[in-house]
Amino acid sequence: MDLSASTATLAAAAADIVRLVPARYTDPLLSGLLLTAGRDGVVLAASDRERTARVSCDALVHTDGTVLVPAKPLAETLRALDVDRVRLVVEGSRLAIRADGARFALPLLDAALHPGVPTPPPPGGTVSGAKLSTALSTVSATASRDDTLPVFAGVRLRAEDGALVLRATDRYRMAIATVPATDLSPDIDVLVPAGLLSEVAKQASGEVSLATDPNRFTLSWGNTTVTTAVLDGVFLSESSLVLNTVDTWVETDADTLLAAARRVALYTDARGVLQIEVGDHELRLRGTDPQAGEAEESVKATVEGGRTSPAVQSRYLIDALRPYTGTRIRLSIQPGMRATVITSVDEQEVPIKYLMMPLLPPRQ
């Protein structure tokens, strides 16, 4: 293999792949980057068997070839170079990265042993990258970080009435976002690792095309294609939650409530209990902590129905309010240990619905 290419383009491609397929295993083959140079340029690819990513780049290819090299040193060297173009050339048992006055030589790993990157399933619709990112930034963050229970560490993506509906829950809260889609296959219903989707949310741009088969899910945008094994498990559906006993409706400004919640959260105890008291024309947030003291803050609101006043986890309330920045929100509150539902009163480009379970009120 012998090629020259734009340093910035190659560096961006290598960095994107390293973030999409981080080396999670000690097997050096799986933390390798597979470079394939051919007539159309160079393709960078990585696989850890569960997920694969490939990015194609323009390159001036002098000699075709395929090599496997350690991914991170390659990505870091390309990022650190401050020359416009770089040459990658196989020299004996090394891939040399050459720039004016400098030579960096990476050991070649055995490309024949690499699992490779399979052809993705046939495409099944497209969504806007920007809207998908908006949806994912809320929904992926709502999944559990703990991946011992895959169903809580995944985001369910499902075609519903031609739109892509994304849902995630960690048992204590659930986020639901609806992203408009084009030509969406009605069969799409997959559970995908939230960690990968968080990274996709950072990278995806332009049009994103979706594809699925019984075991895999693929996202493609620009020159990038990511495929992951889907997770097993029966996702907790909203229909299993009681949502029809709402007796209290509150409308208020999301930003004002968020700022107040952040302040009062400084005064919550180890459990993070924040009491929301529904008054006639306001919400009162209260927190109390044996060390820090007590806090109380009122936020103007329109209240209808009863005065059901839930206690919530302060951190969860802050997370729940973040997607509604700049809008007026409606809280639909149910008595007892049933979820509070947050939606926007204003129109959102990507409509988001947030369900938050209450806590037991603070012990007196």
Q: What angle do CA 316, 328, 283 make, to 5 degrees?
A: 60
Span from 1-9, 105-113, 136-144, 318-326 in contact with its own copies (CB under 8 A):
105-113
**Any residues with CB less than 8 A from the CB of 107 and at least 6 apart, and which?**
69, 70, 93, 94
Q: Does 47 participate in binding its own copies (rule CB under 8 A)?
A: no
Q: Does 299 participate in binding its own copies (rule CB under 8 A)?
A: yes
What is the DSSP pairing of strand 352-356 with strand 173-182?
Answer: antiparallel
* Contacting residue, 80, 113, 149, 337, with its own copies by CB under 8 A: 80
Q: Does 325 participate in binding its own copies (rule CB under 8 A)?
A: no
The residue with tokens 């030509």 is: 183
Span from 58-66, 121-129, 255-263, 347-355 in contact with its own copies (CB under 8 A):
255-263
Asked if 251 and 329 count as a contact pair (C-beta separation under 8 A), the reply is: yes
Q: Does 268 participate in binding its own copies (rule CB under 8 A)?
A: no
How far apart are CB 81 and its own copies at their closest, in Å?
7
* Contacting residue, 259, 311, 318, 345, with its own copies by CB under 8 A: 259
* Contacting residue, 179, 201, 260, 359, with its own copies by CB under 8 A: 260
* Contacting residue, 113, 149, 242, 266, with its own copies by CB under 8 A: 266
What is the DSSP pairing of strand 216-221 with strand 94-99?
Answer: unpaired
Q: Does 278 participate in binding its own copies (rule CB under 8 A)?
A: no
Q: Cβ closer to its own copies: 60 or 105? A: 105
How far apart are CB 91 and its own copies at their closest, in Å?
11
How far apart are CB 77 and its own copies at their closest, in Å?
6
Binders of its own copies: how many residues, by CB under 8 A?
30
Q: Cβ closer to its own copies: 33 or 155? A: 33
Amino acid identity, position 332:
S
Closest Cα partner for 200 from 19, 67, 322?
19
Asked if 230 and 217 count as a contact pair (C-beta separation under 8 A), the reply is: yes
Please say whether the dihedral angle defined by the alpha carbons of residues 313, 319, 322 and 323, taken in this order, is positive or negative. Answer: negative
d(CA 170, CA 102): 50
Q: Cβ closer to its own copies: 50 or 319? A: 319
Q: Does 214 participate in binding its own copies (rule CB under 8 A)?
A: no
Q: Does 191 participate in binding its own copies (rule CB under 8 A)?
A: no
How far apart are CB 61 and its own copies at their closest, in Å?
22
Asked if 326 and 310 count as a contact pair (C-beta separation under 8 A), the reply is: no
* Contacting residue, 294, 304, 346, 349, with its own copies by CB under 8 A: 294
Span from 17-25, 71-79, 126-134, 242-250 in contact with its own copies (CB under 8 A):
71-79
Per DSSP (E only), the strands in 134-230 are 154-160, 163-169, 173-182, 189-193, 207-213, 216-221, 224-229
* Contacting residue, 12, 23, 60, 105, with its own copies by CB under 8 A: 105
Q: Cβ closer to its own copies: 82 or 280? A: 82
> Hey, what are 55's tokens?
């990015």
Asked if 274 and 307 count as a contact pair (C-beta separation under 8 A), the reply is: no
Q: Does 26 participate in binding its own copies (rule CB under 8 A)?
A: no
**Dihedrals phi, psi of 317, to nearest 5 degrees:** -65, -45
d(CA 323, CA 345): 13
Where does this chain bind its own copies (CB under 8 A)? Answer: 70, 73, 76-77, 80-82, 94, 101-107, 259-260, 262-263, 266-267, 291-299
